[in-house]
Amino acid sequence: MADGVKKGTKITEDEAKTLDRAQMGVAITGQAEVEGQDPYIGRVECPWCGNIGRAILDTDYYKWFACGACGRAFRA
């Protein structure tokens, strides 16, 4: 695992159907053009496919995520 990357935990498709989509963030694949502007953005690793993406990690915003590469749900 890369330094500073928070590894996600899997959410099954059945469980994801019961979660509030308003509390779902998306882990964006790729590098940010400007790093360090938002203190809530961190790097997360999808537990399903291993993709490392950027996401807002403040739980006041999002409680769970969809992977920007495979689309599967996870918590980080």
Q: Which residue has the higher pLDDT, 64 or 29?
A: 64
At residue 15, the pLDDT reads 97
Per-residue pLDDT of 1-34, as tens digits, reads 457 889 999 999 999 999 999 999 988 877 655 5
Considering the chain, what percentage of its residues have pLDDT values greater than 70?
84
Q: What is the DSSP string of 7-61?
A: EPEE--HHHHHHS-GGGEEEEEES--SSTTS-TTEEEEE-TTT--EEEEE--TTT
Supply the pTM of this predicted model.
0.70
Specify the higher pLDDT residue, 36 or 70.
70
